[in-house]
Structure formats: C-alpha cells, structure tokens
Chains A and B, each alone.
Chain A
C-alpha cells in the first residue's frame, strides 16, 4: 500500500527537526527544574507560595517543551496535532483539578476537625 513516490526524508514532518529548537527545550526544561529544585531545597519561600511558584515554573517548562519539541503551531503540517492537543489539555486539567477539588471538599465536609488523622 505504498503511495510513496517521494523520498520519505523530504516529508514536511521530518523537515521540522531543528537542533536549535531541541537545545532550547533542553536548556529551558533543565534550567526550570534546577531553579525549582534550588527553591525547594533552600526553603526560599513559605510552603504555599513555593507550591504556587514551582507549579508556574513547571507550566512554563511544559509549554516551552511542547512548542520546541513537538512544534505545535498553526502550520498546515502541524495544525491537527495542535488542535488535538488544545482539545485534550482542558480534559487533562479538569480530570486532575476536579478530582482533587471533589475529594478535598468531601473530606472537609465529612471529617470531624481534630479527629481526622487520615
């Protein structure tokens, strides 16, 4: 079932490979994790603000990786990859966020304060 009249290496998705892009993803990903690690190990902030800040750092690292590793853009080669990601991301966030929220409030409403030891 070969329709391949062309050299597969000339396929636009093969041609997306870029050394600079992969290096940016590597440096930003590793740099972000090192900064977050330093902040946690050094107890630089209160636990609540530390949690918020390292979550934001991870978000930035993930967005940079998604763009530079997977080239999720609006080009004709990649548009459907991008669309399927944009459709999946809310499902991911909702499954995680709503589950945690549901169990957290359930615990607050059902456990007696001071009695609960998990």
Chain B
C-alpha cells in the first residue's frame, strides 16, 4: 500500500470485504478436530488413573501389587512403543521430503515394533491369567487389567490404522486425504507414548515400590 491510498480514501471505491473465496484449511481443520478427540480420549485415562489411585491397595486378600507387577519386565514394552513412535516420526520427516518409499518403510517398521509391544503385553497377561491373577479377583487387579489393556487397545487400533495407511499410501500417494490421515495417525500414535510414560511410572514403577 502506498501512502497515497491511506491519505485519500474514496468512499465509493473503498473495499470493505473480501470477494475471493480462500477456501478453508482442509488439513488444519481435520488435525485440530482429531487433536480435540485426543484431549477427550486423555480424559478416559484420567478416569482410569483416578480409579488406580483409589484401588491401588485393594488386594481383597489376594495377589498384592508386588506379586503381579514386575517393573523390569515392563522395560521391554517401553522400548518397543517409544522406538515405534520414533520411527513413525521419521516417517513424518520422509513425508515432509515427499518420499513415498520412506513413509511406507517407516510405517512398516513402526507397525512391527507396535506388534512387538502387543506381544510383550500378551505374554505378561497370559502369565497373570495362568497364575489366577484375573480381573475378578480384586479391585486392584480389575484396575490393573483395565488400565494396561485400555492402552493396549489403543495400540491395537493404531496398528490397524497404520496397516490401512500403508495400503492407501501405496495406492494413492500423498493426496490431501492421505496426508491429513497420516497427520492424525501421528497425533494418535505419538499420544500413546505419552500415555505409556504415565502407565509405566504410575502403574508399573509405583507397583514395584
């Protein structure tokens, strides 16, 4: 704008609104919407952590926390989930560079590590079931199963989504739809790492104290 137009405003020619259609931010609206879903999903975990704080000593004469929770064993799922999240992050860097093979390879590796995470959890909980430490034994065990397996259910659906995305990227490349889905899955997957840090600390580590 020149100073000329600022000094001499012609009322009949002044432009009071924008006539052009700028469209909306297709990717940005979907990303904020999914982020808000993630915030409400976090409240599910708030409820579970609150229940954990209440039931943490309710052993009902059955298994105590020390008999059921082994912090050292929980290191393996921690390694799997954090590495999987890191590799998905590398996939997002590959997306930034427009590398289709980079994204697919990162998603595949991230998927395999996620399966490793679920395998470790499956082993842990089948051992618990074999020794009779099932949810109906006590408030503490109900809480322990539900809080850890709710996180595992998130990981399971994240893996399902990842498998779908691998196919979609291979078939359709970086279309607008695929890019926003990758961004939303990134939000979902990275959020599982944050939740796992809380589960590991407040359930596994504190159960071992």
Which residues on A are within 8 Å of B, measured CB to CB?
2-5, 8-9, 11-15, 17-19, 21-23, 25-26, 29-30, 32-34, 36-37, 40-41, 47, 50-51, 54-55, 57-58, 61-62, 65-66, 69-70, 77, 80-81, 84-85, 87-88, 91-92, 95-96, 99-100, 103-104, 117-118
Contacts and interface: CB of A to CB of B under 8 A. Distances in A.
Interface residues of B, number: 59
A114 B75 CA distance: 37
Interface of B: 23-24, 26-28, 31-32, 35-36, 39, 42-43, 46-47, 49-51, 53-54, 57-61, 71-72, 75, 78-79, 82-83, 85-86, 89-90, 92-93, 95-96, 98, 174-176, 179-180, 183, 187, 190, 193-194, 197-198, 200-202, 205-206, 208-209
Contacts of A99: 50-51, 53-54
A60 to B, nearest CB: 10
A9 B174 contact: yes
B53 A92 contact: no
Given A3-B23, A22-B92, 12 more contacts: A4-B176, A13-B27, A14-B27, A14-B96, A22-B85, A32-B197, A33-B78, A77-B28, A84-B39, A88-B39, A95-B46, A103-B54
Contacts of B72: 37, 41
Contacts of B50: 95-96, 99-100
A40 B180 CA distance: 41
- Please provide the 3 A-B residue pairs with the shortest distance between their CB atoms, ordered closest to farther: A3-B23, A22-B89, A100-B53
B205 A37 contact: yes
Contacts of A77: 28
B89 A69 contact: yes
A47 B59 CA distance: 19
A84 B37 CA distance: 11
Contacts of B194: 62, 65-66, 69
